[in-house]
Structure 1
Amino acid sequence: VSKNIEFTEKTLDYMERVRLCNYNDFDLNNHAKHLFEQACEATGIKIDAKVRFTSDMTIYRVTVDSLEQLNAMGEFEGVYSAEKTYPILASMDFLDTETTVAVKQPDEEEEYPVVGVLDTGIADISYLTPWKETEEHTNYPSEYQDNSHGTFVAGIIEYGDELNGTNVSSLNGVKLFNAVVHPGNTMPIYPEELIDNVREAVENNPEIKIWNLSLGTTMESELDEFSEFGMALDNIQDENNVLIIKSAGNCTNFAKGLPKSRISKTADSVRSLVVGSIAETQEEKDYAEPNMPSPFTRVGPGPASIVKPDLVYYGGNAGIENGKIVINGVPSFGLDGSVYRNVGTSFSTPRVSRIAAELAFMMHEDFDALLIKALMIHYAKYPADIKMKMTDKVAQMGFGMPVGAREILYNSPDEITLILRDTLEKGSFIEMFDFPYPTSLVDGNGFFRGQIILTLVNKSLVDEKQAGEYCQSNIDVLFGTYETEKERDVTKPTIKNPRGVDVNQNLLADSLYSASAKGVHPITGFERECTLVKYGKKFHPVKKYAIDLADMTPSNRDKWLPSNRKWYLKIEGLYRDFIEKEAVKKDFQLSQEYCMILTIRDPERTAPVYDEVAQQLTTRNFIHHDVRVRNVVHVANE
C-alpha cells in the first residue's frame, strides 16, 4: 500500500484529516485503528472526530499542536495520508429583487414526492412551511442554526417555476424534508462531520430516496484519485438505495483572469448526479452569454477522466465591475420571506433534484436510483445554439440540461424508448440477434435512417484502495447491423455463444460519421444531444451515444445501412485484475448492475416507430412491459 503523507503547512495547532492504510483484512485494519488511537493518546494528539466514510475506510480528524506530535504522526506506519482539513462553507450574499409570487398550499387529499434537503435548515416562512414534512432531522440546536442557505435552496425546489416563469415541473408541488446537517455561518464544520451528519439523516429516513446536497469544499479534485468525501457519498447511496443530487462547486478564478477550477473534492462521487451551472441571461457586466457555462461553475473532467459534472441547470451569471464581483442571480426566498437573488451551483442543483423526485414518484415502480440517474442523463440536452467543441461541452456541461419528468415518461408515436435493467455476472453477456428496428425507417434509396440515442449506466464495483482505478468494473455495449448469423466453435476458450453475427458493424463507432456530425459545426438540431463514442470510455460508469444515421459517410452507409441487413445488440462486462483476484481469494461471484436505455426516433416525426417496434417485440418473443405511470394532474404555471 502506498503511503502519502503531505505536511504541506507545518504551522502548529491545526486540524489534520488522517486516513489509515487498508490492509484488506478486517482484523489487521482493526488492529491498526487501535494502535493509532493508542499512539495519539501517548503523544497527546487529540482525536476530534472518528467517522466511517465507507465500510473499509475510517477518517480521523486530529488536532496537532507541537512539532513532536507532527513527527510522531508521520512516523506511524499505518497512516496512508494526512493533510490539513478545511471547513465546509455555506456562504450567502443576497441581492434584493422586486419579484413576488403567490403562496402555494398542498392539497390534503393529494400525495406528493419528497425531496430531502441536506443543508443548513429551512426557515418557517409562509411560502415553505405548508410544504415542510412534520418530521425533520437536525444535528444542531436551533440557536446554532443559520437557515439562510437551506431556505434559499428549498425555495428553488418548491417555487422554481413560479419564480422564473417556466413550466419545467410536472407536479404542483413537492414535500420538503428538512435535514439540518450544517449550522450555516454560526460555526465551522469539517468534511468528516458533514459526512457523519449526512449518513445519519439518510439512514434514519429510509423512505426518502432523493436528497439534495448543495454543500461542499473549495478544494479541487485530483486527476488520478477520488476523494474520501466522494467515496463516502457513494457508500451512503449504495447502503441506503438513494440518489444524491450534488452541486459541482464554485470558484472565483474568472475574477483573476484564470480558467475555471475543476470540480471540487466533494463532487467526484460516481453514484451522485453532479450538477454544474449555466447562465440564463446576460447583463452588461456579465461574463457568460445566455446558455453558456456560468463564470463561477467548476468543470470536468473528474478523476480518471470520468464525465463530471453529469448535468447543468441555470445557476446565474457574474462579472467584474470596479474590481469587484457582481452577480446576476437566480431568485428564491430569504429568512424574511422576501425574494432575493444569488448565484452558484448550490442553486442550479435544486431544480434537478425536483425533476428527479417527480420522475421517481410518477413512475409508480419500486425506487431504482440507477434507473432514475440513467433516465435523467439519457434525456438531457445541450441548450440550443451552443458554439462549443464537443470536448468543451462535455467538460463544462456534462451530458447537458435535463428535461421535465413528463417529457421523459411520455413518448410520441414517432419514437420508442426501450429500457434494459439487469445484473450481469462475470463470464456472462447479453446478445440479441434480429433486434427490432422499425421498418418505416428506410429511405427511398433502401438505406436505414433514424436517430439513435443509447445511454448505459452501470453500478461499477468500487474499491477505495485503488486510487484512479477506484471503478473496478465496466460494461460495454455494441449496437449495429450484420449480414447473416453463423455457427461458432464453443470449444475455443474465448467463445461462449454457439451462434454469432457475420459481416457485422457496431454503429456507435465515432469513425463512421462525418466531422460535421460531431457538434463542431452544428447544422441540424441534433447536436443538442450528440456525444458519440469518444465519451464512452472504459471503466466510466456513464456512457452516452447519440447518432443520426444520415450523418454516416457515404462509403460506410453503403456497407452498413442497406435495409436487407439485420440489427444486433450486445452487452458484456469487464473487470480489473485486482477485483478478479479478490473474488477468487474471498470466493464470491463478480456481478454488476446496469441500466441501458435506447431511443429510436424518426427525425422527420412521421413514422409510426412506437407501434412498429412494440409489435416486433411481441412477434419475436421479447419479454417486455410498459413502465407504470401514476395518473397525476398538473396545473401549468401562467
Structure 2
Amino acid sequence: MANPVQIILNPENYEEGRAAGGGGEHKDFFAYRDQDFVLHRDMLIHQLDAASKTLSVQPTGAVGFAKVVLRPKAWAKIHRPMIALLSPDRVPVVGGADLGEMIIEVKPASLRQVAAEMEKAEDGTRTKINSQTFKEVPNPSRRRSEVGAIESIELYGPTDRRNFSVNEAVSWLSNPLTGSGYQVELFKNIPPRSDWDSLDTANRQMIESFLRGFTALGFGVSVERLVDVRANQPTLSVRVIHDTAGAVLLIFDSQSGERRRPLAPFNSEIKLHVELLTFLDNHPLVRRISLPGIVLQSGQVSTNRRARPKNLSCPTHDSHRSYPKLGVIDGGISNALSDWVIDRWEVLDDADIDHKHGTFIGGLVVAGGALNGKEICPEQDGTELVDVAVFPATSTGAFATYYPGGLPEFFDEMSSAVADANARHGVRIFNMSLNITQPAAPEAYSQYAARLDRIAEDNDVIVFVSAGNTKPQDMRAEWAQDPTTALAGLALAQNDKLQIPAESARNVSVGALNPPDQDKNIAYAPARYSCRGPGLRAGVKPDLAHIGGSGTPDSILGSGLFSILPDGNITDGCGTSYAAPLVAKIAAALDHAIEGHVSRETLIGLLIHGAEIPEILQVKELSPVARHLVGFGMPPSASRILESDDHSITLVFASRIKKGQQINFRFPWPASLVRSGGNCRGRARLTLVSTPPLDPNFGAEFVRVNIDAMLQQEKEDGGWAGRLESLYVPPKRNMAATEAERIEHDLKWGPTKVYGKTFPRGVGSSSNWRLSVEYLERAGVKIPDEGVPFTAILTISDPKRDAPVFNEMRQNLQALGVTIADIRTAARITPRV
C-alpha cells in the first residue's frame, strides 16, 4: 500500500532552550616543543613588524589588509585567535579566502598591539593534572594557544589579487561578449564624497588615492559600480577605452542604475593594461581582480534524424486541467510547443533568436515520456512553460548588443523575467541550462552564483542549473566497469571542473548520466562530458544527476536522449543542459502535487532525500569521488518521493531555528523493530536542507551559520548517542575528525546534509529516540533575529520489508500529541510546509 509522506504540523512544540556549549580548553599546538614555539612566535612578531613598517610609509595611507593563515588543526571556532590576539576592536575580520584563511583590517598601531600580546605568551609548556585521568596534560594560556594557532601573517598582496597575465586579459576582454571590463572587488564600499569627513585620516587617504589613481593613469578608463552583484561586497567594472576624456568614474550609489550612454570602444593596447593592473595590484583597497565570464549553452542538439523514435504525437494541453509550471531561461522556445507556452518574455529580435536549445529542453519536459519512456522521463507528460528568452543566438554575435556591460546586465534582465513569471503565473521552478566559461573555485563564491542566489531568494524560486560540459577535446574516457580503471580515467582527465554558476548555494546544479540501452557505454554511469565537483568546499556539487545523453553516440540510438527540433521533428542530443530540466520537471511536479506554498527547503530536501547514487558508483573504491560526479544521486519520480510502503515512514519537519533555540523531537522507535532489552533494528535516512546566511567576503567560509541535525538514541545514563553517519565519511577513519576533515567530508557548514545507517543486528538498549536540530555560528557571527529556515526529512524503514512501520509510527506519534498530516494537503492547516 502506498502511504503519503507525513509532515509535522506543530514543530514549535519541540523548541527548547539551547544547551550551553562547553567551549573546550585552550589547545597547546607546541606542547613540549618549547624551542619550536619560541622560534615560531618570533617569526610571527617579525612578520607583524615588517607589515607595520610597510604600512607606515605607504603612500595610499596607513591602513591595509592582512591575511592570517591558520594551521589546519586550528580551523575550529574554539581555536581561532580572536580573543587575546586578533580581537575585533583591534583588527576586525573583514573576510576570508581559502579554508582557514582570515583577512583582517590593520594599521601600524594595531599590528604593534598584536605583537605586544604575542610577546606575553609563555615560553614553556604549562601543565596540569587531568581530574578524571590523573595524567599530566598541557594547560597553555590563551595567548600561547592563539600564537600556536597561527601559521603566518602577511599583508594582502598582488598575488592574492590577480591570477591571470596581462596578455590573457587583453585577449579575453577583446571579445565583446565579456563586456570588456575587469571585475574589481573592493574591501570597502566607497561612500559619497559628502560623507568623507566622517572617515578617519587613514581610510580617507586610501579612498582618495584609489580614485586619484585612475585619473593619474592619463588614458581613457571607465570605472562603474556594478549594482547588486553581491551583498556587502562592492564590485567595479573597469574598462580601458578609447576616450580622450581620461578616467570616467561612476561609482557612487546616486550614479548607479540605467546606463546613460553607449560604452566607449575597448582599447586593447597592452601597455595601458599593464599600467592599470599594476595600479590595481598594489592598491590596498582592492581585494580581487577577475575577468568576466561568457555565458554558453551546455548542450548539443544533433541534426541526425535517423534516431528512434520516428514519430511523436505531442500531448494536447487541456485547459480544464492544472499542470506543473516551469520557466525555461534560454534562447527561446519555438511554436512547435506553443500549446504549452503560457507566456513569453520577449526582449530578443527575431533575427537574434535560436530556438534549437530551448525547444529541446521544452520538448523534454512536455513530451519526454512519450519520446524516451518512463525509465528516463518518469513524470507524466505535459508542463506549462514560461519562455524566458534572454539569451541571443551565438551565431549572430548579438550578446554584446543586448548586454554591452556583459553578464551583470544579462542577470538584470533574467531577474526581471523571473520576477514577472513568478508574479503573473506563480512559477517557482526555473531551468537555466547556461554556464559561464569559468570553472568554479573551491575557495571563492563567484559573483554570478551569488547573483543567481539573490534572484532565487528575492523571488522564492529554485533555479536548476546545468553542471557544465567539457570541451570536446577534454571529454573523459567512457566510464569503465572496473573501478580501478574508472578512477584512472578520472585521474587523467583535465579541464572538467564544475562550471559557474553551478556552485550556487540556494539553487540546484545537475550533472549528466548515460542513458540505458546504449552499445558503447554503461547505463547510469557519469557521462563523459559532464563537469564534476567539488565546487565550493562547503557542500556537495553538483547536487543531483539525471540522464543527459551519451557522449559517445550509439550506432542506432545516437545520444539516446530524444526531444524535438524547432520544426517539431524528433532529434537526439546530449549535455548537462538536458539533464537539468529532467530534475526540474520532478521539482515542478512536486510543487504541483503539494497544496499551497511549499518552502524551497522542503522541495530541495524531498528531491535529495529520494535520490539514489547509481549502482555503478556504489562500490567501496568509488565512494570518495561519487559525490563529485553525481552529487546525492538521481531522484525518482515525484509520486515515488511522496509515497512510501507499509514498511517505512517518512516524516517532514519544516521550521526555523532561532537564537538560543534547538529542536528536540522525541519519539519511540517502531515497536516491531524493537528487540528485547530495547535493542532497535532497522534503517534510517535523514536529510537536512537549510538556508543559512551567506557572506561572499569570507571566501570558502562564506556560509556563516551551520545547521546540523542528528538522530539520537537514549543511553542508560540518560544521555543521547548519535546513531547516523554522514553518507560521505571516508572509510576506515579510526580517530576523531579534525575540523578540516569535517568540512571536507562530513559537509559541516554545507546547507545540505544527508545521513544514514542500517542496524541489521540492532543498536542500543532503549526505544526512546529523538531528532535534534541545532546551530553553530562562525566566530564573531550571530544568527539572524528571524532565525534560519530549514527542513529535516527522516525516513525509518524495515530493510526486511516485514514490519508495519508506517502504521505503528503514525499511531505512536498521534498518541504523544504530535499533529501530523499528509504533506500534499498540509498547507490547509499549517503556515510552513
- TM-score bin, normalised by smaller chain: 0.7 to 0.9
Paired residue for 1:384, among 615, 628, 631?
615
CA offset at residue 183 of structure 1?
0.7
Is 1:549 paired with 2:745?
Answer: no
CA displacement 1:271-290 (0-9 Å, x = unmatched): 11110001013645x4x411
Is 1:104 paired with 2:280?
Answer: no
- Show the 5 A alignment for 1:289-304: 289-304=522-537
- Show the 5 A alignment for 1:593-604: 593-604=789-800
- 2:696 is aligned to 464
Cα distance in structure 1, aligned partners of 2:743 and 2:230? 33
Q: Higher RCO, 1 or 2 (CA under 8 Å, sep at least 6)?
A: 2
CA contact (8 A) 1:275 1:345 kept: yes
Is 1:568 paired with 2:762?
Answer: no
Task: Calculate the TM-score normalised by the size of structure 2.
Answer: 0.64
CA contact (8 A) 1:422 1:595 kept: yes
Which structure shows the bigger proportion of residues in helix conformation? Answer: 2
Seen in structure 2, the aligned counterparts of structure 1 residues 218 and 276 have a Cα distance that, compared at 3 Å, is same
SS of the aligned residue for 1:159 comes to helix
- 2:509 is aligned to 274
- 1:157 is aligned to 365
Is 1:82 paired with 2:286?
Answer: no
Cα distance in structure 1, aligned partners of 2:291 and 2:653? 45
Cα distance in structure 1, aligned partners of 2:191 and 2:809? 52
CA offset at residue 30 of structure 1?
10
Seen in structure 2, the aligned counterparts of structure 1 residues 548 and 89 have a Cα distance that, compared at 3 Å, is same
Structure 2 unaligned regions, length at least 5: 1-64, 66-155, 175-179, 197-206, 240-265, 400-405, 478-488, 733-741, 827-833
- 1:21 is aligned to 186
CA offset at residue 89 of structure 1?
1.8
- 1:143 is aligned to 351
Paired residue for 1:254, among 429, 451, 475?
475
CA offset at residue 49 of structure 1?
9.2
Is 1:166 paired with 2:166?
Answer: no
- Show the 5 A alignment for 1:117-516: 117-125=328-336, 128-133=337-342, 135-166=343-374, 168-185=377-394, 186-187=396-397, 189=399, 190-206=406-422, 207-252=426-471, 253-254=474-475, 258-259=492-493, 261-281=496-516, 283=518, 286=520, 288-304=521-537, 306-319=539-552, 328-386=559-617, 388=619, 389-433=622-666, 435-443=667-675, 447-484=679-716, 501-502=718-719, 504-509=720-725
CA displacement 1:363-389 (0-9 Å, x = unmatched): 012131111000000000123354542
SS of the aligned residue for 1:280 comes to coil
CA offset at residue 184 of structure 1?
2.5
Amino acid at match of 1:202: V
- 2:823 is aligned to 627
Larger Rg: 2
SS of the aligned residue for 1:614 comes to helix
SS of the aligned residue for 2:795 comes to strand
CA displacement 1:514-533 (0-9 Å, x = unmatched): 979xxxxxxxxxxxxxxx99
CA displacement 1:222-281 (0-9 Å, x = unmatched): 121121111111111111111011100011423697426221122110111110001013
Identity of aligned residues (%): 25
CA displacement 1:318-349 (0-9 Å, x = unmatched): 2499xxxx962411111221111111100111
Cα distance in structure 2, aligned partners of 1:103 and 1:399? 32
Is 1:68 paired with 2:272?
Answer: yes
Amino acid at match of 1:254: M
Paired residue for 1:10, among 163, 167, 171?
167
Seen in structure 2, the aligned counterparts of structure 1 residues 297 and 59 have a Cα distance that, compared at 3 Å, is farther
CA contact (8 A) 2:502 2:508 kept: no
Aligned residue-pair number: 575
CA displacement 1:56-111 (0-9 Å, x = unmatched): 34452634533235523552544433333342123645132342211211111112
SS of the aligned residue for 1:366 comes to coil
Amino acid at match of 1:264: Q
CA contact (8 A) 2:301 2:360 kept: no
CA contact (8 A) 1:458 1:595 kept: yes
Task: Calculate the TM-score normalised by the size of structure 1.
Answer: 0.82
Amino acid at match of 1:404: S
CA contact (8 A) 1:423 1:591 kept: yes
CA RMSD of aligned residues (A): 3.4
Amino acid at match of 1:611: N
CA displacement 1:434-476 (0-9 Å, x = unmatched): x232101135896311111100111121001111111111112
CA contact (8 A) 2:330 2:434 kept: yes
SS of the aligned residue for 1:376 comes to helix
Structure 1 unaligned regions, length at least 5: 486-500, 517-531, 631-638
State which drifts further: 11-20 or 591-600.
11-20
Amino acid at match of 2:237: Y
Seen in structure 2, the aligned counterparts of structure 1 residues 265 and 365 have a Cα distance that, compared at 3 Å, is same
CA displacement 1:140-194 (0-9 Å, x = unmatched): 2222111111111111111111110216544441101000120122226443343
- 1:524 is aligned to none
CA contact (8 A) 2:617 2:623 kept: no
CA contact (8 A) 2:329 2:430 kept: yes
Cα distance in structure 2, aligned partners of 1:509 and 1:541? 17
Cα distance in structure 1, aligned partners of 2:195 and 2:335? 45
